[in-house]
Amino acid sequence: MKCKMCGAELKKQGELCNNCMNQVMKEEEKRLDTEKIFEFKRSFVIGYRLSQHIESLIIAVVMAIVLIYSSRKFLFESLAFLALITIIELLVFLHDRYRINNSKCSFYTTKLIYERILFFKKRKVEISYNDVKQISYNQTRFEKIFNIGTIYIKTNSKNILERNIYIDSIKNVQKVFETIKENLSED
């Protein structure tokens, strides 16, 4: 007799070997885990987000001014270009706000779940604590002004897109990081 999952020879009669059975039981425990112990959300800080978009608007204004002064015949085109860039930046700004306000990271007894929006599609990443290699945070000098930062989660995930998770725009990032460390060390 062979294991249905891995094909290993079975010493006793059954469908799964001990390794596969343990793996199935761990997956089942993780799936049934609904006890949320901690949660944090990303924060949309308007001053910080505006500062990221203001650079593009300044470049657009300078380009429009250069076009206007180089030749008066480009006045309409320059103003249309400036209006187009402003509309695009406004749409990107609103999309950032939507994405940030609809993201959260929840910690359970056996796993963490990170939910976020990618181009209006909700994406949910579930990571077992056994797969977490490292959790850290970063806060640039500019982010310190707005009291936000980024949480980094490195994992052993088989999915290459889930090996490094960056959760930015976290208000009071140092406190959140300390709370995460406390909750994970209890397990």
Residue-by-residue pLDDT tens, the chain, 187 positions: 777 778 777 777 777 777 777 777 777 766 677 788 889 999 999 988 888 878 877 887 787 777 777 767 777 777 787 788 888 888 988 988 999 999 999 998 888 899 998 877 888 988 888 888 999 999 999 999 999 999 999 998 888 878 899 999 999 999 999 998 887 776 5
* Helix ranges (DSSP H) in 12-45: 18-32
Query: Which residues have C-beta within 8 Å of that of residue 178, sequence separation ≥ 6?
Result: none
Q: What is the reported pLDDT for 186?
A: 63
Taking residue 40's Cβ as centre, other Cβ atoms within 10 Å add up to 21
Burial class of residue 118, CB neighbours in 10 A (0-12, 13-18, 19+): exposed
| pTM attached to this predicted model | 0.69
Q: What is the reported pLDDT for 83?
A: 83
Q: What is the reported pLDDT for 54?
A: 81
Q: What is the reported pLDDT for 150?
A: 95
The helix-helix angle for 75-101 and 46-70 (nearest 10°) equals 170
Q: What is the reported pLDDT for 45?
A: 92
- Give the separation between CA 187 and CA 130, rounded to whole angstroms: 11
Beta bridge partners of 164: 154
Burial class of residue 21, CB neighbours in 10 A (0-12, 13-18, 19+): middle
Q: Which two tokens stand for residue 184?
A: 């994970």
